[in-house]
Structure 1
Amino acid sequence: MTEQSPPEHITAASISGKRRRIVQVTPNYPPLLGGLERVVQILATRLAARNDVRVITTDNKAGGAPHRAVEKGGVRVRRHRALTVAHTSLAPGMFGSLLRIERGTVIHLHCATAVVPEQVWLSARLRGLRYLLHFHMEVDASGPLGRLLPLYKTHLFGRVVRGAAGVIVLTESQRGFLAERYGVDPAKVYVVPNGVAEEYFLPPRTPGVEPAAGSAPDPLRLLFVGRLDIQKNVARLLDALALVAEPVRLRLVGDGDLRQDLQAQAARLGLDDRVEFAGRKHGEDLVKEYADAELFVLPSDREGMALVVLEAMAAGLPVLATAVPGNIETVEGVGVLVAPTPQAMAAAIDTLARDRSALAAPAAAGRARVADSRWDQVVAAIEDVYEQVGF
């Protein structure tokens, strides 16, 4: 990934300082675990320091959270009852909330699944309102209905993207992708990368002590953080671990629909002594996971700009990831990218486990890349986009 910075016309100096009404519209929201959900929550909470902020979302995997609540920072959250079909949250009641949005409100739509974007587009057209679209990741096909996705993208989602008053993307490559795939005018696309919270910037690590001659090294401590779902493809990582010859141990931090399947796979592969399912971690507990690990691994099929990778880099962890969209832009030049196969991942893990001095360079490069990626800067850039778009 090349160094990311906002375009020249996005500068903190252009922020007007006025108080806005902002509605963040997202298919899912914490307590559901996920990078997009965390990004929306962070933006909503920090924007609420000087704006009136609401979130319109669904109750998908909300863990019993109330349908109406005032949450951290005074953010008002409205969760609509949803049915999940083909990894897509369907919440008909959301459309009513969209139709009741007051004029003059910033409608900030976060896109990563179908249906919700179309509801925003239709409600805005019916009422003559404008919206800003935040493009996190291109949706890939999954499940039996996946064959309909190309038609959906061409005839529905393309209209949503082109109809936005402005579009926020995470990388320059996403800007080019939207222009090529959906015909979006690059002039109305703004590059604003994700950020990292201060608590993840840990002190530089001290090199480990080399084992005495003839003694076996301690297992290399691997860490994965994220949802246990199809996109993250932790099954690929377990298959890779079964091929690794060097002593390693893997902690899987997170939860999801595939947890039981993955536990069964680990047992089937004889990995019970190498793999630990640690469950969800938050706050100081998650920071400690980064601090205790030696190598962060991400076996995803695709990403937008994974928060966990940025956090790992800030914590001084070297990153090993699959060379797929999103990971390439984030990790290239500062981490280790490998083909998305168990064999390639296993070979890279073995190489690093044998020569742990090779971990120092990607760890330092990763820290340098995210050194200026604080959330305060991201929020300032987001507010600047609001100003430039005319909200």
Structure 2
Amino acid sequence: MKIVHVFKDFYPPLAAGITCYIADVADALAERGHEVEVHVAGVHQSRVERMASGVVVHRHRELGRALSMPIAPGLIREVRHLSADIVHTHMPNPIGEIGVFLNSSPLVCTFHAQLVRQRFLEPLYGRLRSRLFDQMAAILVSGEAMASTPELANHVGKVRVLPFGVSPRLVGSGAVHQHYTGPIRLLFVGRLVYYKGLDTLLRAMAMVPNATLRIVGDGPDRAALEALSAQLGLADRVEFSGFLYDRELALSYGAADVFVLPSNSKAESFGMAMSEAMANGLPAVSTSLGTGTDWVNLDEVTGLVVPPDSPPDLATAIGRLQDPELREALGIAASQRAHDLFSFDKHVDELVSVYQRCRQ
């Protein structure tokens, strides 16, 4: 099959949950013999790149961004005229979706998240999204919470729950954190952006003296977070590691005791880094958002779940996980849940099955 993925960004260079997911899936599809293209914006001059796996990435010139959305007329024009067995768009991405809406190929979408910061655009964008859903052969979501969102209420017959899979490249041996006896080592992995709630985590750290925190990732909020860490007197216990490639990231999971995802917005729809951490045997502390994160990490089963934007509640959960027996029990359950539900190979198998049915 010729399969085309459409989004606004791609990894590399942007390391985020959706961009890394698209890159991993595109590579896996190409390795299975499919012809795969990816169309994104994100560059000053349009160009085409061929990845080592054979995936062809079309990067279209953007004139700028408004509310995180690229202004890229070339992306619309190119996607509109694509000929493919499947065009798979990743939403929300209004610019790319206009081109997909005008395309006549069989269409599949993954509905990754609701509008949050751009919610005021809903009256206008909602009409485009609904018309696009009308044209979809299948609408994929990562969990039951996303499947029940009001945006999908009129299209439930097309919705298929397909949890994201953890890339095998990000699963290490876990041997490091099994033999460590020092202060509890916390890990966060993700973009340093507003909805990740890292300010809450730093304030919680100030309440838990016998703990260290490693923050892996980069983003526009990094300078402000580093300043807050210094202001709170945490400079000797909090490390900002920046972006890490796969091997170093897998080692970071192995060298931690607990993964923390303190997000504060429904923009956090699944928590892909959390599922990666769980696959590496780490219990998780996450926040109750009414999204897929509540399904990925089960309270008192694979980790602990606390209210968002509450440093005291987050600090209490971290304090509880200083108990090595509780940590071990939750970590074993987390690893088993990841093995059962977040298999990358199974995800790709099911995705190909969806594509094949949508072609018929």
- TM-score normalised to the size of structure 2? 0.91
Q: Could you tell me whether the CA contact under 8 Å between 2:184 and 2:210 is conserved in 1?
A: yes
Shift in Å, 1:294: 0.6
Q: What residue in structure 2 maps to residue 115 of structure 1?
A: 95
Q: What residue in structure 1 maps to residue 188 of structure 2?
A: 224
The CA distance in 2 between the partners of 1:149 and 1:300, in whole Å, is 23
Q: What residue in structure 1 maps to residue 343 of structure 2?
A: 374
Q: What residue in structure 2 maps to residue 356 of structure 1?
A: 324
Shift in Å, 1:208: 4.5
The CA distance in 1 between the partners of 2:119 and 2:3, in whole Å, is 35
Aligned mate of 2:288, from 282, 304, 323 = 323
Give CA deviations for 1:358-379 in whole Å, capped at 9, x if unaligned: 1012101111111143222111
Give CA deviations for 1:231-284 in whole Å, capped at 9, x if unaligned: 21211211221222x411100011111111111111111111111101111121
Aligned residues: 349
Q: What residue in structure 2 maps to residue 47 of structure 1?
A: 29
Q: How well do the aligned residues superpose, as a CA RMSD in angstroms?
A: 2.0
Give CA deviations for 1:11-54 in whole Å, capped at 9, x if unaligned: xxxxxxxxx11111011111101000011001111111211110
2:191 maps to 1:234: no
Q: Could you tell me whether the CA contact under 8 Å between 1:88 and 1:115 is conserved in 2?
A: yes
- Classify 1:243/1:204 alpha carbon distance in 2 versus 1 (closer, same or farther; 3 Å): closer
Q: What are the within-5 Å matches in structure 2 for residues 79-118 of structure 1?
A: 79-82=59-62, 83-102=64-83, 104-118=84-98
Q: What residue in structure 1 maps to residue 146 of structure 2?
A: 174
Q: Could you tell me whether the CA contact under 8 Å between 1:113 and 1:139 is conserved in 2?
A: no
Shift in Å, 1:184: 3.4
Amino acid at match of 2:135: G
Amino acid at match of 1:172: E
Q: Could you tell me whether the CA contact under 8 Å between 1:320 and 1:337 is conserved in 2?
A: yes
Amino acid at match of 1:148: F
Amino acid at match of 1:388: R
Q: What residue in structure 1 maps to residue 159 of structure 2?
A: 189
- TM-score normalised to the size of structure 1? 0.84
Q: What residue in structure 2 maps to residue 343 of structure 1?
A: 312
- Classify 1:350/1:152 alpha carbon distance in 2 versus 1 (closer, same or farther; 3 Å): farther
The CA distance in 1 between the partners of 2:134 and 2:356, in whole Å, is 19
Q: What percentage of residue pairs aligned between the two structures are identical?
A: 31
Q: What residue in structure 1 maps to residue 6 of structure 2?
A: 25
Q: Secondary structure at the match of 1:296?
A: strand
Shift in Å, 1:158: 2.4
Q: Could you tell me whether the CA contact under 8 Å between 1:223 and 1:295 is conserved in 2?
A: yes
Q: What residue in structure 1 maps to residue 231 of structure 2?
A: 268
- Classify 1:176/1:230 alpha carbon distance in 2 versus 1 (closer, same or farther; 3 Å): same
Give CA deviations for 1:151-184 in whole Å, capped at 9, x if unaligned: 135322222223312111111232222xx43433
Query: Could you list the runs of 4 or more consecutive aligned residues of structure 1 that deviate by over 6 angstroms after TM superposition?
Result: none
Give CA deviations for 1:206-249 in whole Å, capped at 9, x if unaligned: 75576xxxxxxx321110011101121211211221222x4111
- Classify 1:370/1:147 alpha carbon distance in 2 versus 1 (closer, same or farther; 3 Å): closer
Aligned mate of 2:18, from 25, 36, 44 = 36
2:302 maps to 1:334: yes
Q: Structure 1: which 5+ runs fail to align?
A: 1-19, 211-217
Q: Structure 2: which 5+ runs fail to align?
A: none
The CA distance in 1 between the partners of 2:180 and 2:77, in whole Å, is 61
Aligned mate of 1:281, from 244, 265, 285 = 244
Q: Secondary structure at the match of 1:227?
A: coil
Shift in Å, 1:68: 1.1
Aligned mate of 1:56, from 15, 33, 39 = 39
The CA distance in 2 between the partners of 1:234 and 1:162, in whole Å, is 38
Q: What are the within-5 Å matches in structure 2 for residues 136-155 of structure 1?
A: 136-141=112-117, 146=118, 148-155=120-127
Q: Could you tell me whether the CA contact under 8 Å between 1:59 and 1:67 is conserved in 2?
A: no
The structure with the largest alpha-carbon Rg is: 1
Shift in Å, 1:193: 0.9
